[in-house]
Amino acid sequence: MPSIKDVARLAGVSVGTVSNVLNRPEMVARETRMRVEAAVAQLGYVRNGSARQLRAGRSTTIAVVALDLTNPFFIDVLNGVETAAQDVDVNVMVVNSSKDAAREARLLRMFEEERPLGVLITPVNASGQRERLGGLISRGIPVVTFDSSSRHSYGCAVSVDDVLGGRLAGRHLLDRGHRRIAFAGGPFPVRQVEDRHHGLAGVLGPDGELTVIPLPDLTVATGRQAGKELAGLAREERPTAVFCANDLVAMGVLQELTQRGLRVPADVAILGYDDIDFAAAAAVPLSSIRQPREQLGRTAALMLLEEANSPGGHEHRHVVFQPDLVERVSTAHP
Amino acid sequence: MPSIKDVARLAGVSVGTVSNVLNRPEMVARETRMRVEAAVAQLGYVRNGSARQLRAGRSTTIAVVALDLTNPFFIDVLNGVETAAQDVDVNVMVVNSSKDAAREARLLRMFEEERPLGVLITPVNASGQRERLGGLISRGIPVVTFDSSSRHSYGCAVSVDDVLGGRLAGRHLLDRGHRRIAFAGGPFPVRQVEDRHHGLAGVLGPDGELTVIPLPDLTVATGRQAGKELAGLAREERPTAVFCANDLVAMGVLQELTQRGLRVPADVAILGYDDIDFAAAAAVPLSSIRQPREQLGRTAALMLLEEANSPGGHEHRHVVFQPDLVERVSTAHP
DNA sequence: GGCGGCGCTTGAACCGTATCAATGCTACGG
DNA sequence: CCGTAGCATTGATACGGTTCAAGCGCCGCC
């Protein structure tokens, strides 16, 4: 495997010069540069990343710790991150915590060793967050949390106003004439779930009647569970609309209701959250609360890069985006 | 930032000893070891990954170049990879080529510099595959292709028999009494698409009447396009079943047909491919050809690790899995 | 008592690169 | 003709580990 020394020897220059050709080509004489470039090509030389990083003390890739890659929401966020990173020639690597705190801890420990340019993370849960992220932060590795489960973060953060999302949902359903409304989601310690519920409840006020269908998880499977519960209720006490804590749940509810002969939206209206592509593609296209996913990712990446590039003082910021409502058939007028 | 030297000084030993405590603890005296461990803890020392890797010449993380993270299929494969890697304490990092050849090339170049333990990849396309992967291979970095678009690979490969998948689909639809059958998929240079079509066509023989609805891409959107085409046909010439090149397409077809008042499976049966979770959760649960996704990933990872651990001779292998059929409502008897 | 062997530790070499002070060279102005 | 400025190149050093031959002290054996 040719090293920079081999290149130097072949080109008849010193290693310093080769390094200059590679990193600051403008400061080496044209003729020398060409000789070096020829040698590089001839040997098929490629720089050694570890050596560079060791010397430089910093990497050039940012790490994203995704909470759950099976949720398309994160994939879209990821796209935003990659867009921003690409512009400044920074690489993005993704790892998957799969909502597993132990696994997340392992990954973060690994990053303490690898020292990426920065870490973008949706932490698994609030408890222990401080300890798990502390190692990175104290080592000077910028950490930006996005869509965090915790209300207060250590460092920069970007999120979407979930209380507002809940309010949008509530107003929309009231507008459509619904008064008996269900909220399907959980677990409740999760901030997003709590906030969305809270926003909804706040808007309904005394006029509405709010039923909560608690779920252990936000997946299609638990959504079906919720659908089953709804379908089991007598018509006169069944909510006429369900607000689901995310689109996966909404899809499950939709499927179960449909299969049990209930019509959406005529019998029960369904409103989801996240506006994932699959939601629009459902049999009854789902209305949903849309989060600016790519923008979320892009902004998070930009904040991370900014922090990484300002060695001195850096003001941590907290950017909050606003969700909006996407109306589709599942909440149309009966 | 404390280095190994600081630890050595604090513990009153040489750096070599500290290194031994970290890497071969059994060969250092108990008392010394404890002193070193105490020093490590006190300083909060963590090893420098780049330095280790520079010295060792090899990394301990394997890289996965995913073709398209928006397709849940790959996420499941990824899970299999992570399972296998976890067992031997190897990390997995994911990057996303997004079906973009230029991007893939950039990522592979980066890996030539970073020298991961190995690279797992579904190449964007067959053409140019040799050049893009050649750099890695000639540098001794094992490459395993999975679900590759090319029929012949350089190195180990794991894939699923798509021709068989097509045959299973064809037989099933014939069994159900269908004779006018459509295949929706594309682009055709893609091996998977070609093979699935080929398998189907082979089984139909002269009895059946096969219509091909070519698509530029396998997404929900193009699936809707296909659905529109189907719905536009007069009843007597409309195929009574569609075999879709993947589940995303099938979902699009399903949605469009349903919205245009056609019943599934009564008017048109739909058969998908991949058996992603969303397929089971569709309004009309989709029948689909299932690929052993996690196993695909697990096997690919194991082959990669094996190659990485056999410095001498290593026989490249090609493992082919068999798909099977999952029957659901979308192809039930009318 | 000397010697061999064993268990543990040491110190130095090395991995491949970036950086920077020092050096050499040229050309130019005084 | 000398001093100097400017440019291109060099060579040494540091980055933080791992590894390995060599050293050291101690014990048991002959």
Measure, in angstroms, how far nucleotide D4 C1' is from residue A6 CA. 37
- Across the range B216-225, mean pLDDT stands at 95
Edge-to-edge strand list for the sheet holding A324-326: A209-214, A180-185, A241-244, A269-274, A287-290, A324-326
CATH of residue A18: 1.10.260
- Look up residue A37 and give its two tokens: 């470039």
Task: Please check whether residue A239 is in contact with residue A230, taking contact to mean a CB–CB distance below 8 angstroms.
Answer: yes
pLDDT of B125 over the 90 cut: no
- Look up residue B119 and give its two tokens: 């690279």
Please give the Cα distance from B244 to B226 (Å, whole number).
Answer: 9
Q: Are residues B90 and B147 in the same domain?
A: yes
Domain count, chain A: 3
Measure, in angstroms, how far nucleotide D1 C1' is from residue A194 CA. 88
Q: Are residues B259 and B297 in the same domain?
A: no
pLDDT of B236 over the 90 cut: yes
Confidence bin at B322 (pLDDT 50/70/90): very high
Q: Tell me the CA distances in angstroms from A95 to A37, B266, B277, one per residue in order.
A: 36, 44, 21
Domain that holds residue B174: 162-291+325-331
Q: Which of B98, B114, B220 lies at the smallest CB-CB distance from A277?
A: B220
Contact: B46, A113; criterion CB under 8 Å: yes
Q: Is B274 left (phi over 0), alpha (psi -120 to 50) or beta?
A: left
**Which bases along strand D come within 7 Å of a protein CB atom?**
7-12, 14-21
For an interface test with A, the pick among B22, B64, B94, B276 (most A C-beta atoms closer than 10 Å) comes out as B94
Whole-number percent of chain A with pLDDT over 70: 99
Confidence bin at B35 (pLDDT 50/70/90): very high
| Neighbour count for residue A292 (Cβ, 10 Å) | 18
Q: Are residues A178 and A297 in the same domain?
A: no
Q: So what's the pLDDT on residue B180?
A: 97
Q: So what's the pLDDT on residue A262?
A: 96
Confidence bin at A278 (pLDDT 50/70/90): confident
CA dihedral B109, B114, B117, B121 (to 10 degrees): -30
Q: So what's the pLDDT on residue B282?
A: 85
Measure, in angstroms, how far nucleotide C22 C1' is from residue B68 CA. 53
Q: Are residues B156 and B169 in the same domain?
A: no
Q: Are residues B279 and B190 in the same domain?
A: yes
Q: Are residues B41 and B138 in the same domain?
A: no
Nearest C-alpha of chain B: how many angstroms from A219? 10
Q: Is the CB of A29 under 7 A from strand D?
A: yes
pLDDT of A312 over the 80 cut: no
Whole-number percent of chain B with pLDDT over 90: 87
Q: Are residues B168 and B236 in the same domain?
A: yes
Question: Residue B186 in 3-state DSSP?
Answer: coil
Q: Are residues A98 and A20 in the same domain?
A: no
Contact: A93, B95; criterion CB under 8 Å: yes
- Across the range B212-233, mean pLDDT stands at 96
Q: Are residues B206 and B241 in the same domain?
A: yes
- Which among A175, A184, A133 has a CA at the least distance from the CA of A154? A133
CATH of residue B84: 3.40.50.2300
Dump pLDDT digits (tens) for B265-313.
999 999 999 999 888 888 889 999 999 999 999 999 999 999 999 866 7
Please give the Cα distance from B257 to A277 (Å, whole number).
Answer: 18
Confidence bin at A83 (pLDDT 50/70/90): very high
Q: Is the CB of A57 under 7 A from strand D?
A: yes
Q: Tell me the CA distances in angstroms from B261 to B160, B254, B255, one per residue in order.
A: 36, 11, 10
Q: Are residues B287 and B299 in the same domain?
A: no
Q: Are residues B172 and B287 in the same domain?
A: yes
User: Three-class SS string for chain A?
Assistant: CCCHHHHHHHHCCCHHHHHHHHHCHHHCCHHHHHHHHHHHHHHCCCCCHHHHHHHHCCCCEEEEEECCCCCHHHHHHHHHHHHHHHHCCCEEEEEECCCCHHHHHHHHHHHHHHCCCEEEECCCCCCCHHHHHHHHHHCCCCEEEECCCCCCCCCEEEEECHHHHHHHHHHHHHHCCCCEEEEEECCCCCHHHHHHHHHHHHHHCCCCEEEEEECCCCCHHHHHHHHHHHHHCCHHHCCCEEEECCHHHHHHHHHHHHHCCCCCCCCCEEEEEECCHHHHCCCCCCEEEECCHHHHHHHHHHHHHHHHHCCCCCCCCEEEECCEEECCHHHCCC
- Look up residue B189 and give its two tokens: 């240079």
pLDDT of B70 over the 80 cut: yes
Q: Are residues A91 and A148 in the same domain?
A: yes
Q: So what's the pLDDT on residue B135?
A: 93
Q: So what's the pLDDT on residue B130?
A: 85
Please give the Cα distance from A251 to B276 (Å, whole number).
Answer: 14
CA A202, distance to chain mean position in Å, is 27
Q: So what's the pLDDT on residue A205?
A: 85
pLDDT of A273 over the 90 cut: yes
Please give the Cα distance from A281 to B221 (Å, whole number).
Answer: 8
